[in-house]
Amino acid sequence: MVTMRQAVDRYVETLRVTGCAQAAVSSTERSLRRFLRFAGDSVIFEPVSLRRSTEAEREGLERLTPREMEVLHLMAMAYSNAGISRALVLGEQSVHTCINAIFGELVSERDGSINPRVRAAMIYVEATGGYCKTI
């Protein structure tokens, strides 16, 4: 099991290692630390959701279309479907279709134990550091 505090520490370190701007790292870290004060450290993640991506999952990224990569990038930045729709000037049904295609390529475990949106975003972030790049 991983405590929320450990997950925040790991995320902030990943931001630093992947070369995100210091101001962005500091701002994100302050926000996450405020959240920890509010939520406490009792929230835990299942290790399966934090595991490293597999080769098959990373290869799935290569099969995504440029539009699907744009959608995945925004998913990794925590955009909602409506937010993705507005940002990319797409209909929400088109966004939904792209997301389902992304899940088909990236998320091998569809048994309900892992949220596919979170898993896809984690694969993207691990492979590209995409949460701190602009489109």
Residue that wins the pLDDT comparison between 26 and 25: 26
Per-residue model confidence (pLDDT) at position 85: 94
Q: What is the mean pLDDT of residues 83-96?
A: 94
**Eight-state DSSP code of residue 3:** E
Residue 56 — φ and ψ, nearest 5°? -60, -40
CA distance 58 to 46: 21
pTM over 0.75: no
The CA distance from 89 to 110, in Å, is 29
Residue ranges of the domains in the chain? 1-45, 53-135
The topology under which CATH files domain 53-135 is: Arc Repressor Mutant, subunit A (1.10.10)
88 or 115: which leads in pLDDT: 88
CA–CA separation, 135 and 118 (whole Å): 20
Average pLDDT over residues 4-31: 68
- The three-point CA angle 108-113-118 to 5° equals 70
Tokens of 38: 């509010």
pLDDT tens profile 115-127: 788 888 888 888 8
Residue 38 has pLDDT above 50, yes or no: yes
What is the rounded average pLDDT of the residues 19-43?
63
Please give the pLDDT value at position 44.
47
Selected residue with higher pLDDT from 17 and 68: 68
The predicted structure's pLDDT at residue 92: 93
Q: How far apart are CA 101 and CA 119, in angstroms?
A: 14
d(CA 39, CA 20) in angstroms, rounded, equals: 26
